[in-house]
Amino acid sequence: MEKYQHLLREAQWIANTGKAAVILGIIFALASMVAYLFAVSQPSNKRMLVIARCLYTATSLCVLATFGILASRVYGMDFRFDYAFKETGRDLIKPDFLHHWLRFAATWAGQEGSFLLWTSWVCLLGFLVFAKAGKYEARVMPFYISVIAFLCAILIKQTPFNLVPLPSAADFAQNAGWMYPPADGSGLNASLQNYWMTIHPPTIFFGFASLAVPFAYAIAALIWRDYDGWTPRVMPYALLTCATLGIGLFMGGYWAYETQGWHGFWAWDPVENASFFPWLAITALVHGLVVQKSRGGMGKTNTFLAIFAFWLFLLGTFLTRSGILKDISVHSFGSIALASKNLMIAMMAVYGFLGLGLWLWRLKTIPGRKTLGDTLVSRDFAFFMAVVLMIIACFIVMLGTTAPIGQTLLHAKDPNFKATAPEAVFYNRPLLPITIVMAFFLGVVPWLAWRKTNTEKFLSKLVVPWFLMLGFGFFMIFWCLKAEQEWINVANMDDASVAATWMAWFKNPVIQRMSVVSLCSLGFLAALSNSMLVYRVFRTKPLAAGGWLAHVGIGILMIGVIVSNTYERSVSFTLREGMGPEKAFGYEFNYERMTGKPLEGRPLNPDYDRENAVQVRVTPPANETPMGGDAKTFLMEPRWFATDLRVADESEIKHTFWPSIQKYMGHDLYITLADSASFRWPTDDPERKRPGIVLQKGERRKLGDYVVGYFDSFGEPGKMMGAHLVILTPDKQIVESKPAIRMDTGSMTAVNVPIPEIKDENDNSSAVYLDGLDPATKAAKLRITLPGYNGAWAVPMVVTYKPWVNLVWIGVLIAVSGTLLAMVRRALEARKLTDENIGPHLENNSWEMPSAPDAK
Amino acid sequence: MNKAYIIGILVISVAMGFTLWSFKDTMTPYTDVAGARKSETEVQVRGKILHDTARYDDAIHALRFSIQDDKGEKIEIIYHGPKPEAFDTAKETAAHGMVRKEASGQEVFLSDSLIVKCPSKYDDNKTPYKKTASAEGIM
């Protein structure tokens, strides 16, 4: 006990250091805000600025120290800490590089850790913000730092430094095997044990953190009525957010595609939407900023969007963290403590009401724009439409995501009411026409000039891409018809009524064909027109090609998304060992082997270790070559393994399936297990060759379609011993059987006990044979035959043919590269800004507001 | 009033109308099993998964299992598609689909999507010190 007390005291000391660091962090943050506010009111006092920066540095060091302490506890598997106990486990201790990273990455596996990750990024990015802000520093930083202060407050309420309680001496005495610290943690969730876990959360949280920069700039712009000066400075950040959120969404989508098994990359899940709607808002902001910078105006829209994008992320965080949608999302985040939930609500309310109030108050003073381009055939109008359409899309996604809350409020009086989330079609249906219109504007905008376009010139430039687009459209019509025919060919289901329902669910083909063909054609036009412009611009001003390059990617992405989702085809079958190949889409599939080791004690109903995969040998059609290989046949290895074996009862063992993907140029072949593979015994096998199953007393096990339960042992010492079995048949009959071993003067004999109630197709009755009974534990070793329980692997699989899915990944990567290129360009432009060309009124760097908006 | 603004407002109002219409159209209400049997359209039923009944039916390549709603009524669900990841440990599910008669004449609930919540994965009851309970009784 003495030793335990010492360990506990040490842990308390570390935990208190961590907690103190957060408290110091919030104190320094508030002090830094005050110092910055003084710096604003006394522009000549340069010392104040230095003090504020020092305080900011202190804040950041505190937050980073907190992160460091938590990471060291998690990486070091210090299970005295509740967070480490819950989020990680010793199964992550492996020598390879990935596992070291995963041990570190477990730091952000939980609620508190991901808040801390977010806070850390905000702190780190802050250094760049104040270094590059020039004269805006003192105006922008207080609002930026307020975000850190709020996050620190949440981390105080929702501390990651809770300790596992030390059990009392009496408890230790009563429960053998208890130790302190606990021997092992609960383990990192199996679906997170993936290399994406090490890079996806940091990327997406960096994107989220960077949303605070345009927000702080916009607030400062509104307070000091400097509606244009902030645009060049905020543009690189807006583009950075756009790119990092974009790449983060891409990583999340690819992660889901690679591991989730439903052969999709987007499910309109609240967690996905929570990052998607800020992305839409910030991308709208980027377009607004381009207009404001090139043509002036848009100040109202841009200040609103900058605040709105940040607020949307707060909303998204609240929705996904508060547990309010926990019956709806597949990413269930547990609900956070009430105190920190209230803090999140306070954060949304403060930023929402103050931001909106300030914006409304200043609305009249923000100079509008005389015109949106002289004619509708102008780049101005195209950009205006881009902003409008993205805002609409943003509201649609927001409406869908918050719908369950609205419903709950509407039905507050009905205790039985359960809110439902809208289905994917809710998002798809209105977003499809919006995307088609957007694709059209994307396709023509390269040929439009600012202000006014010479219509004849415009049409003459458009004519070549337009005709190429029509050609592509015709190709698409034939492609769709062919794909639909193939779909009908594979959709032959055995049960006619099931097939009929499925066919009814296959949506109206005419509308579908029209949507696919028009979106693909316009996506093609967008990619083509923009790449023509990229080619032209790149030779003279390579950095200026960024935006157009991003549009090329978006065009490609549109084609990839609509085709891969509409024309994916799936076939289900059960692959049986030794029963010959199954065929789908011209491919032949053969069971090869299990790659992992079966776990001991479960030979009849084996569970496999983490490394296990089902090897499937695939013979492709003669004319196909997979990417990166020319083999006549290749292996695909969908994974199937027991997730966590440290469970008390075997029935609690959970299996994880990971799909296997074979990439081709034009499509992916995607296979996933539909259910656990099962091992079945051939009934004609010589009895003795069958390995037995071992059942513990009280255990039951599913064998094929039957459940065999070992109820109790019985016997007379020295004479006989037996096992009382209860077999539950698929039609809910309960059959009893009592196989036994007789002991006669030192020799033991067992007999095959028939189970006449259970017969297979050939009228052979099942039988059970007691191979051994452990006198101490009463564990019974049994051999059993049951109908359909025959000795070969049966692997139920779903094979999906996913056409053109590579366009999705390629499109996103091109779009992100383009955005980053544009960011570099804007950052270089911002570097050239000297304080002189910020605007004359900025020199009046005080709290006194200019009485009238400065005329531009 | 600029032409562009008029077009913008037009686009926004059309999109809003369309969204609201599709919103109404795509929300599937929850019902109990009795309601699902009566319903002519797609519904969502929520109920306890009876894990003993769960099996993968090779013949129709679908997961079959029964659920029991709050009122105790049961129905078999046929779900085409891979078993959801959390299915094995889930207590409850909400299935989207509609009731159909199988060739055998039995009413089954054909589902195209299952929402499965895993009760244990994220719960806050993870504790290193579990008192050993006596595990007795089967079936």
With beta carbons under 8 A apart, name residues in chain A contacting B52: 707, 728
Write down how long chain A is.
Answer: 856
CA dist A312 and A306 (Å) reads 10
Asked if A376 has any chain B CB less than 8 Å from its own CB, the reply is: yes
Contact, B109 vs B99, CB < 8 A? yes
Q: Which region among A329-343, A368-382, A746-760, B110-124 has the lowest average model confidence (pLDDT)?
A: B110-124
Alpha helices, DSSP H, located in A260-370: 270-295, 299-321, 338-362
With beta carbons under 8 A apart, name residues in chain A contacting B77: none
Asked if A733 has any chain B CB less than 8 Å from its own CB, the reply is: no
Mean pLDDT over residues A218-227, rounded? Answer: 92
Residue A792 has a pLDDT of 66
Asked if A798 has any chain B CB less than 8 Å from its own CB, the reply is: yes
Does the distance separating the beta carbons of A497 and B8 come in below 8 Å? no
Asked if A709 has any chain B CB less than 8 Å from its own CB, the reply is: yes
Q: How far A757 CA lies from chain B's nearest CA (Å)?
A: 19
pLDDT in tens, B50-63: 887 787 777 777 88
pLDDT in tens, A388-406: 999 999 999 998 888 888 7
CA dist A391 and A397 (Å) reads 10
Q: How far A461 CA lies from chain B's nearest CA (Å)?
A: 23
Among candidate residues A357, A354, A519, A371, the one with its CA nearest the CA of residue A436: A519
pLDDT in tens, A171-187: 888 877 788 888 888 88
Residue A849 has a pLDDT of 41
Among candidate residues A765, A712, A759, the one with its CA nearest the CA of residue A740: A712
Contact, A125 vs A210, CB < 8 A? yes
Instruction: Please report, for chain B, how many H helices and E strands are present, in that order.
Output: 2, 6
Mean pLDDT over residues A324-328, rounded? Answer: 65
Confidence of residue A585 (pLDDT cuts 50, 70, 90): confident
Does the distance separating the beta carbons of A186 and B121 come in below 8 Å? no
Q: Which region among A205-209, A361-365, A622-626 has the lowest average model confidence (pLDDT)?
A: A622-626
ipTM above 0.85, yes or no: no
Residue A179 has a pLDDT of 82
Confidence of residue A604 (pLDDT cuts 50, 70, 90): very low
- The model carries a pTM of 0.83
Q: Check whether A854 has a pLDDT greater than 50.
A: no
Strand partners, A721: A715, A741
Residue A497 has a pLDDT of 41
Residue A139 has a pLDDT of 92
* Count of other CB atoms within 10 angstroms of residue A847: 9
Q: Check whether A623 has a pLDDT greater than 80.
A: no
Q: Which region among A119-128, A274-283, A329-338 has the lowest average model confidence (pLDDT)?
A: A329-338
Residue A2 has a pLDDT of 80
- The more confidently predicted of residues A800 and B29 is A800
Asked if A796 has any chain B CB less than 8 Å from its own CB, the reply is: yes
Does the distance separating the beta carbons of B8 and A430 come in below 8 Å? no
Residue B135 has a pLDDT of 32
Closest CB from B8, B52, B103 relative to A497:
B103
Mutation site for B-interface testing, chosen from A387, A388, A425 by largest number of B Cβ within 10 Å: A388
Closest CB from B52, B58, B96 relative to A796:
B58
Does the distance separating the beta carbons of A420 and B61 come in below 8 Å? no
Residue A415 has a pLDDT of 66
Q: Which region among A244-258, A416-430, A685-699, A831-845 has the lowest average model confidence (pLDDT)?
A: A831-845
Does the distance separating the beta carbons of B28 and A372 come in below 8 Å? no
Q: Which region among A89-103, A342-356, A496-510, A761-775 has the lowest average model confidence (pLDDT)?
A: A496-510
DSSP A596-625: SPBPTT-SSS--B-TT-BEEEEEE--TT--
With beta carbons under 8 A apart, name residues in chain A contacting B131: 175
The values of phi and psi at residue A395, to 5°, are: -70, -35
Contact, A621 vs A586, CB < 8 A? yes
CA dist B139 and B113 (Å) reads 30
Q: Check whether A469 has a pLDDT greater than 80.
A: yes
Q: Say which residue the tokens 């997730």 belong to.
A: A643
Does the distance separating the beta carbons of A505 and B112 come in below 8 Å? yes
pLDDT in tens, A79-98: 999 999 988 988 888 888 89
Confidence of residue A686 (pLDDT cuts 50, 70, 90): very low
Q: How far B67 CA lies from chain A's nearest CA (Å)?
A: 15
Residue B126 has a pLDDT of 64
Does the distance separating the beta carbons of A798 and B81 come in below 8 Å? yes
Contact, A420 vs A404, CB < 8 A? yes
Q: How far A819 CA lies from chain B's nearest CA (Å)?
A: 26
Q: Which of residues 258-277 of A touch B (CB under 8 A)?
A: 260-262
Residue A498 has a pLDDT of 43
Among candidate residues A711, A690, A726, the one with its CA nearest the CA of residue A604: A690
With beta carbons under 8 A apart, name residues in chain A contacting B43: none
With beta carbons under 8 A apart, name residues in chain A contacting B71: none
Element (H, E) at B78: strand B74-79
Q: In one letter, which amino acid is A188?
A: L
Residue of A nearest to B10 (CA): A388
Q: How far A653 CA lies from chain B's nearest CA (Å)?
A: 8
CA dist A815 and A837 (Å) reads 32
- The more confidently predicted of residues B24 and A356 is A356
Q: What's the mean per-residue pLDDT of chain A?
A: 83
With beta carbons under 8 A apart, name residues in chain A contacting B69: none
Residue A586 has a pLDDT of 83
With beta carbons under 8 A apart, name residues in chain B contacting A653: 88
Residue A735 has a pLDDT of 87
Q: Check whether B5 has a pLDDT greater than 80.
A: no
Write down how long chain B is.
Answer: 139
Asked if A572 has any chain B CB less than 8 Å from its own CB, the reply is: yes
- The more confidently predicted of residues A254 and A601 is A254
Confidence of residue B44 (pLDDT cuts 50, 70, 90): confident
Q: Check whether B25 has a pLDDT greater than 90.
A: no
Confidence of residue A764 (pLDDT cuts 50, 70, 90): low
Residue A575 has a pLDDT of 85
Three-state SS annotation for A227-273:
CCCHHHHHHHHHHHHHHHHHHHHHHHHHHHHHHCCCCCCCCCCHHHH
Mean pLDDT over residues A564-588, rounded? Answer: 82
